[in-house]
Structure 1
């Protein structure tokens, strides 16, 4: 990419992402280029695919849950092309690394709303909790334990008692108890991973 195009891209992304300054955006664009180089060639130049995305998030933030990683990919891939563009990459990382509570709530809700209908249903909660629970009590039907958790979550978060969570329910619950932000599975990096990632990626770029 020519220096002029790089400058235009960095300026535009700095304005749209709001969370990074120019030199940080430049570092993220450089990282993006490195990842594109690893990706399969049919996306060449345009972006990188699901596999590279999952490997990157796995190694950078320790996110391992397959279902969650797929959902994170889908929320980043706003254009729904199956590859992550540089704009989606920088704006998505803005929320992941430095998002406001508002942004993180919208992001987590979108991840948990598996079919995109604007609600987190019992079935969706069951699906996600079943995946994120590794250890089951030996004497209990594994699914029963998960069903109990779903009921507990609904009891705590379903303010309008319609048997599913709207964004309004979710937002209200999280504002009252911030730990509920990731109630249905880990989809945000922890603070240690964020600091390590930023130190590694945003260290002084060679002039």
Structure 2
């Protein structure tokens, strides 16, 4: 048994060395901690999935319970953003690389990540319809509102006025990037898809202890 765990330890160290080069915001020790955490999370899944990685349900639980994300549509998009090979599982490599941007990304990386999350159909634009769907999901409706959809439509128009520089009723990546650079608060304009500072700190304190 001890030989087995020593081998596993060595494997974790080798993997961490490789991954911390790709996920540049973590050092080797932090990458090792994230690999261990990943392995712990996998143990909660049924055996047949273990070789593949974290499934959607497990990953969404982490997004919700650990990082405070609440919107189903956004959580699904975050899952897809992490799942870079589109096999419906988060591998250990995708886990460490995804968290590198999710927790410690530069503004550039976060702009790219948020745009990817918000571009629901992956066509390179955030359309008026996509904005409407995301805002409708993420805004808390007041029971007294007779036409809540009208308020959301108005909000979409306000956002387009501010961010849609070429007036084609959709946001390209360069428009999104330009808007966020001018006003950082617009980074998560269409719904929360990054953890706040408190949640990030709590996760890192727990993971890297």
TM-score by length of 1: 0.95
**Counterpart-to-counterpart distance in 2, 1:140 and 1:156:** 27
TM-fit CA distance, 1:57: 1.4
Root mean square deviation, CA, Å: 1.2
TM-fit CA distance, 1:61: 1.0
TM-fit CA distance, 1:137: 6.6
Map of 1:64 onto structure 2: 70
Check conservation: 1:40, 1:48, Cα contact below 8 A: no
SS of 2:121's equivalent in the other structure is coil
Q: Which runs of 5+ in 2 are unaligned?
A: 1-6
**Counterpart-to-counterpart distance in 2, 1:29 and 1:52:** 16
TM-fit CA distance, 1:150: 0.6
TM-fit CA distance, 1:140: 3.5
**Counterpart-to-counterpart distance in 1, 2:144 and 2:8:** 61
TM-score by length of 2: 0.94
Q: Which runs of 5+ in 1 are unaligned?
A: none
Map of 2:182 onto structure 1: 176
**Counterpart-to-counterpart distance in 1, 2:112 and 2:96:** 17
Match for residue 55 of structure 1 among 55, 61, 73:
61
**Counterpart-to-counterpart distance in 2, 1:122 and 1:143:** 13
Q: Which runs of 4+ in 1 moved over 4 A?
A: none
SS of 1:165's equivalent in the other structure is strand
Match for residue 15 of structure 1 among 14, 21, 31:
21
Deviations 1:171-192 (CA, angstroms, capped at 9, x unpaired): 0000010000000000000001
Map of 1:145 onto structure 2: 151
Deviations 1:144-202 (CA, angstroms, capped at 9, x unpaired): 11100110110000011111000000000000100000000000000010011101110
Map of 1:89 onto structure 2: 95
Count of residue pairs the alignment pairs up: 203
Match for residue 34 of structure 1 among 21, 40, 44:
40
Check conservation: 1:36, 1:45, Cα contact below 8 A: no
**Counterpart-to-counterpart distance in 2, 1:149 and 1:136:** 15
TM-fit CA distance, 1:139: 4.2
Deviations 1:75-95 (CA, angstroms, capped at 9, x unpaired): 000111111000000000000
